Structure 1
């Protein structure tokens, strides 16, 4: 029988740009306590920075006008002043 040991290497210090091609911003919320509404934001960007001491930090921007729940009427309501007030 053989055994393997896994060694975790520390994350190197630096700043990385979030790869939007291989990343996603998804969500799900309960609707009327009966069903779940799932959706995503199609436009986003950000960076991940690791300090010399190993402390990570994330900076992200999400365009609320890019919400997509696969229901145009619902998306319009979420963008309205009732929720995100996306025009502002």
Structure 2
């Protein structure tokens, strides 16, 4: 009985170590938002290929990070128009 209890404890410690190895530190607010989105959508997203929840969560996360980086790289046109209008007003 004691050997079984010890085996269960060792297995629990090993699983906790594996879980900690997969959890990377959060690097940015976008990273946290995308992790939350993936966590919220992973079980409601269809899995027709049968790849499993880990792969689906990774796909959701990567798509979210790609959207976030695209939004950050596209300049806001509205702000540019305001600058142009301000420059025109100075020259008049």
TM over 0.5: no
Instruction: From the CA coordinates, give the structure whose radius of gyration is larger.
Output: 2
Larger strand percent: 1
Q: TM-score, normalised by structure 1?
A: 0.24
